[in-house]
Amino acid sequence: MAVNSPLPVAAELKPVNGIEIGFAEAGIKKPNRKDVLIMKLAPTATVAGVFTTNRFCAAPVQVSQANLAAAADSAGAAPIRALVVNTGNANAGTGESGLAKAQQTCAALAGLLGCNAQQILPFSTGVILEPLPVEKIVAALPAAIANLKQDNWFNAAEAIMTTDTQPKAVSRSVTIGGHAVTMTGISKGAGMIRPNMATMLGYLAFDARVAQPVLDELVRHAADHSFNCITIDGDTSTNDSFMLIATGAGTLEVNDAASPDYAALRDAVTGVSTNLAQQIIRDGEGATKFITITVEGGASVLECRKIAYSIAHSPLVKTAFFASDPNLGRILAAIGYAGVDDLDVGKLDLYLDDVWVAKNGGRNPDYQEADGQRVMKQSEITVRVTLGRGASAATVWTCDLSHDYVTINADYRS
Amino acid sequence: MAVNSPLPVAAELKPVNGIEIGFAEAGIKKPNRKDVLIMKLAPTATVAGVFTTNRFCAAPVQVSQANLAAAADSAGAAPIRALVVNTGNANAGTGESGLAKAQQTCAALAGLLGCNAQQILPFSTGVILEPLPVEKIVAALPAAIANLKQDNWFNAAEAIMTTDTQPKAVSRSVTIGGHAVTMTGISKGAGMIRPNMATMLGYLAFDARVAQPVLDELVRHAADHSFNCITIDGDTSTNDSFMLIATGAGTLEVNDAASPDYAALRDAVTGVSTNLAQQIIRDGEGATKFITITVEGGASVLECRKIAYSIAHSPLVKTAFFASDPNLGRILAAIGYAGVDDLDVGKLDLYLDDVWVAKNGGRNPDYQEADGQRVMKQSEITVRVTLGRGASAATVWTCDLSHDYVTINADYRS
């Protein structure tokens, strides 16, 4: 069940010049479902990405990081030409043979596209600690190439789904410096941080030309304000990746991160990224509520994020949201153990939407439980904490913890 | 449902000379249940404690910390004479008026016992952010005093229960340096760290005489190897407290932490504390499995604990245990995001009881899923991780995450 999240409409997903998409049914885990995706890029494209910080990062993550670095070093001589994604197997916890298989996938696709293996970025998502059936992926590549087309974004969103109950995608058209820019993105899974090791994957393409160092900065900014602000259960996958693709097929060119065009592009990309990230939360495993947690008045963004995540990860807070129970002391407790050692709780206020719950660290004398109850029954709720110790703020989006979360994760492999 | 945890037998709980126990039904949250407990100490007693690190620590925690310090400063002139515990209300998130009410409880009991208010330690457990009905507690004190007796440990264990499904208590008799020592303890709730803010409380008394600085060291050691090694859901309560009481009513005297008697006493106290802590996990909310997580071969105890807790807190790992699903890649992922930045996963091995699952960071070629399945079906399971980077180790005890956990915490206040 997804929280207030309408299915993306295929006809509303705009093709982006400079990127073609193909898919295939390789039968990696189950038959008769799209499980291999190819994105083929124009030679003008630049690509930048952020990846999981998990020390057990998957083989394809290691290969993609190395190949991105090689493409950047080539200064345009050997750009990334294609991305390949499989579901059904994460190729993580697979050691040296896993690395060899990720490279084998790249080599096979490179052979079919006429480039070298380093110009391919591989991605995998699914169960970890099991050998990748690389031969099935390689066998499916010609079929995926055969159906390459620009207008395949909805199929792409479906092809990367695992435990997702619905595909996640969005398009936006913007005008920057007089140039039309089309951007379309897809996502799947949940955190950088999330259930099932189902892996957060995000791909966002737009048709401007962006210099590599500028795109590197842009992807970091967009991730920090979108995919890095969501959490479902605090688990960080071995495979999380967010890739930003500037195809270079449009007329806008951005080579300077100090330019007004950069600022406009950054805000547009961040907006689309945030939409994709929030779609993940709305489709969180077992989610029945969409919760926004804002912490303000902090001495640093870091401490605001620590407190917001402490609230967002607390199983007690999450089960209270599921039950629509205004047991709001649990939120104060989660703030208290967030690890901000010099926090003066006597300066802290807590709001639930428009309801002032706690004042100066204690119950607001005017707070009525009926008001808290009213807000807790909503499917979208904002928790706002003010710390009274500075001007920094942070926001995190999360969902509740329901019976279905346990059911889904207890039954995942069966 | 408690995991393999027999109910303590009242007749097997040994009285400890120098401590008397009384209880009453104050009707704090619900009628007709013991909800106030008094422990009255001999004037020879010394008391030491460890408390929650939550910044929103409850009013009684603040008062107990201050009164313990005052008693220590008095050097025996004004020792702690009694402890008073209420359930049904945590007196946390209650600001200045909460502090005043905790002090009022102390003053009332001190008046009845003929000592001063600073010689009383107050404790509370229950819902937070709600005003303490102090008048009900004060009114119940005479009844609790009227039934004071040494042989009331089973009643004490019952009187401090909240969401516990069974009372938790244990006794041991040991001989140290030729002296008989009797120790009896009770506990309730779950973490230092745990569901429902239900609060971990532990009280352990024995009849030796122990100098205050030695007892301070002893309580820290015992807590670090018992109550600080358990976790159910990672939530740290506002009220967690573990109190160690040396009544001084026996013949053993320990004034030197370097003595052999201290070492023997420390091991005995730690053993009883560990038993009490493990009873909490076995009765964890919704628990169906008792899991021991041991991390060995670390460069420091701290990094071993980080990894053990990362596994123990992962909702994915916990739901896999609930489902008896050997989806063991989830354990590797939890190790990977534990925050040990220079961890070389290529040196890491993973065992499930006697089954060697992962070798050098990848699947052990000899591992058979049927073997993992066999262990996962057990109600007691040991996860052992070897890091291959040093000689340090740590152990954490936890339970699984079940449907009942969600049910219990979603319905707690109803």
Q: How confident is residue A345, by pLDDT bands cut at 50, 70 and 90?
A: very high
Give the residue with greater pLDDT, A209 vs B284. A209
Is A199 annotated in the active site?
yes
- Please give the pLDDT value at position B7: 80
Q: What pLDDT digit, counting tens, does each position of A130-151 carry?
A: 899 999 999 999 999 999 999 9
Instruction: Give pLDDT, residue B350.
Output: 97
- pLDDT tens-digit readout, A47-99: 999 998 888 889 999 999 999 999 999 988 999 999 999 999 999 988 899 99
Q: What is the pLDDT of residue A165?
A: 86
A363 and B131: CB-CB below 8 Å?
Answer: yes
CATH 1.20.1440.60 fits A10-282, yes or no: no
Does the domain at residues B290-411 carry the CATH identifier 3.40.605.10?
no
Please tell me the distance from the alpha carbon of residue A401 to that of residue B190, in angstroms, as a whole number. Answer: 20
B33 touches chain A (CB under 8 A): no
- For residue B252 the two structure tokens come to 């053993």
CB of A410 within 8 Å of a chain B CB? The answer is: yes
Q: Report pLDDT for A234.
A: 67
**Does the pLDDT of residue A313 top 70, yes or no?**
yes
The CA radius of gyration of chain B, in Å to the nearest whole number, is 22
Torsions phi, psi for A76 (to 5 deg): 95, -10
Structure-block tokens of residue A128: 């970890």
Residues A121-135 as b or e (16 or more Cβ within 10 Å = b): bbbbbbbbbbebbbe
Q: Do domains B10-282 and B290-411 have the same CATH topology?
A: no
Q: In what order do the strands lie in the sheet with B168-176?
A: B46-51, B241-246, B201-206, B179-188, B168-176
**Within an 8 Å CB–CB cutoff, is residue B335 touching chain A?**
yes
DSSP state of B360: T
In sequence order, the 6+-apart residues with CB closer than 8 A to the CB of B197 are A316, A329, A330, A333, B90, B92, B127, B128, B235, B237, B238, B239
Looking at the complex, does the CB of residue B172 fall below 8 Å from at least one CB of chain A? no
Gap between the Cα atoms of A270 and A256, Å rounded: 17
Taking the CA of residue A198 and the nearest CA in chain B, the distance in Å comes to 10
Taking CB atoms and an 8 Å cutoff, what residues of chain A touch B57? 336
Q: What is the mean pLDDT of chain A?
A: 91
Q: How many residues does chain A have?
A: 414
Contact B297, B386 (CB under 8 A): yes
In contact, A274 and A225? CB cutoff 8 Å = yes
Contact B405 A315 (CB under 8 A): yes
Of these residues, A199, A236, A238, A247, which one is catalytic? A199
- What is the average pLDDT across A290-301? 96
Rounded Cα distance between A51 and A237, Å, is: 10
Q: How far apart are CA A156 and CA A149, in angstroms?
A: 11
Q: DSSP readout, A228-288?
A: GGB-SSSPPPSS-EEEEEE---SS-EE--TTSHHHHHHHHHHHHHHHHHHHHHHHT-TT--
Burial label, B284 (beta-carbon count in 10 A; 0-12, 13-18, 19+): buried
Residue A328 forms contact with B (CB below 8 Å) = yes
Looking up tokens 């071993």, which residue turns up? Answer: B304
- Orientation angle between helical segments B315-323 and A403-411, nearest 10 degrees: 70
Over residues A208-220, the mean pLDDT reads 96
Of A330, A344, A371, A376, which to mutate for an interface test with B (greatest number of B Cβ within 10 Å)? A330
Residue (of A87, A47, A96) closest to A189 by Cα position: A87
pLDDT digits (tens, 9 = 90+) for A161-170: 987 889 999 9
Q: Do A95 and B360 touch (CB under 8 A)?
A: yes
Task: Indicate the burial class of B74 (C-beta count within 10 angstroms; 0-12, 13-18, 19 or more).
Answer: middle
Where chain B has pLDDT below 50, the residues are: 191-197, 414
In whole angstroms, give the CA distance from residue B323 to residue A168. 29
What was the pLDDT predicted at B411? 62
CA distance B324 to chain A (A): 8
In chain B, which among 39-68 make CB contacts under 8 A with chain A?
53-57
Q: Are B117 and B106 contacting, i.e. CB atoms less than 8 angstroms apart?
A: yes
Query: Do B195 and B232 contact (CB within 8 A), yes or no?
Result: yes
What confidence category does residue A411 fall into, taking pLDDT thresholds of 50, 70 and 90?
low
Q: Is A188 annotated as a binding residue?
A: yes
Q: Using the beta-carbon criterion (under 8 Å), do A55 and B336 form an inter-chain contact?
A: yes
Q: Which SS3 state, helix, strand or coil, does residue A86 take? A: strand
One-letter amino acid at B47 equals: V
Q: What is the 3-state secondary structure (H, E, C) of B22-33?
A: EEECCCCCCCCC
Per-domain residue ranges of chain A:
10-282, 290-411
Q: Do A316 and B341 touch (CB under 8 A)?
A: no
Q: Do B56 and A345 touch (CB under 8 A)?
A: yes
CB B284 within 8 A of CB B362: no
Largest Cα separation within chain A, whole Å, is 71
Q: A336 and B236 in contact by Cβ < 8 A?
A: yes
Is there a contact between B332 and A196 if contact means CB atoms under 8 Å apart? no
Give yes or no for B306 touching A (CB within 8 A). Answer: no
Residue B409 annotated as lining a ligand binding site: yes
Q: What is the largest CA-CA distance in chain B?
A: 71
Three-state secondary structure call for residue B85:
strand
Q: How far, in Å, CA of B203 to CA of B277, rounded? A: 11
Considering only the beta carbons, identify the residue of A93, A313, A406 that sits closest to B358: A93
As a whole number of Å, the CA-based R_g of chain A is: 22
Of the candidates A97, A101, A65, A67, which has an alpha carbon nearest to the alpha carbon of residue A86?
Answer: A101
Q: Check CB contact of A131 with chain B, cutoff 8 Å.
A: yes
pLDDT in tens, B195-212: 344 578 999 999 999 999
* A388-406 confidence digits (pLDDT tens): 999 999 999 999 888 887 7
- φ, ψ of residue A294 in degrees (nearest 5): -115, 130
d(Cα B398, Cα B317) in Å, to the nearest integer? 11
Distance CA B92, CA A159 (A): 50
Chain A residues touching B385 at Cβ < 8 A: none
d(CA A87, CA A60): 12
